[in-house]
Structure 1
């Protein structure tokens, strides 16, 4: 994992030996981030990417995307629906062959995962 991925946990993890040309990989990555930023927890006016709910994104050589995500709380009312929203958003990115979302709760989400943009939107400075 690169230093950038280590300091920005939401960035996709990409196999350094990936057969996808770097320019195409960058385009898919940018598309995935943009798509994830269209998904919101209905109770919080910040997208799931900026909230830090996306723990891991993997893009394999066939351009299939695997996403590990969490929720702000395990009892979230949209827990059953949100993974489908994320899968649909990711699968709709040009160049992506398909997507699978796994819900994880380890480590538990906390506010330290939020971006500065999320903190400003939620007035949490």
Structure 2
């Protein structure tokens, strides 16, 4: 089992998780900091939110868990919500900035 490939597959699957407020996926928003998969198929996702106390965190956690588990080789998912490094618009992909009409790219 190639854990790095599985982690990349998880990241690709998470591109289907859309932030309901912004309408952009959480990967392009730069909310996913790290995905690690161990030899037992446990997937650890380190991520942040655009703002502390985001009212949609439960919805996002459910969608993230579901998408990660849809990847072959994933048996368990652990989502770690972190606040460092602090999220900023600089973490967004060029695609996300264009989609949200943010200039200065």
- Give the TM interval when normalised to the shorter protein: 0.7 to 0.9
**In the aligned structure 2, how far is the partner of 1:29 from the partner of 1:69?**
14
Partner SS for 2:101:
coil
Residues 25, 58 of structure 1: CA spacing in aligned structure 2 closer, same or farther, 3 A cutoff? closer
SS of the equivalent of 2:80 reads strand
**What RMSD, in angstroms, separates the aligned Cα atoms of the two structures?**
1.6
TM-score normalised by length of structure 1: 0.74
In structure 1, the partner of 2:83 is: 105
- What is the distance in 2 between the residues matched to 1:64 and 1:113? 26
Number of paired residues? 103
Q: Which has the higher contact order (CA 8 A, sep 6+)?
A: 2
Aligned to 2:33: 55
Give the unaligned 5+ runs of structure 1: 1-19
The runs of 5 or more residues in structure 2 that have no matched partner are none
Structure 1 runs (4+) deviating above 6 angstroms are none
CA contact (8 A) 1:31 1:93 kept: yes
Normalized against structure 2, the TM-score is what? Answer: 0.87
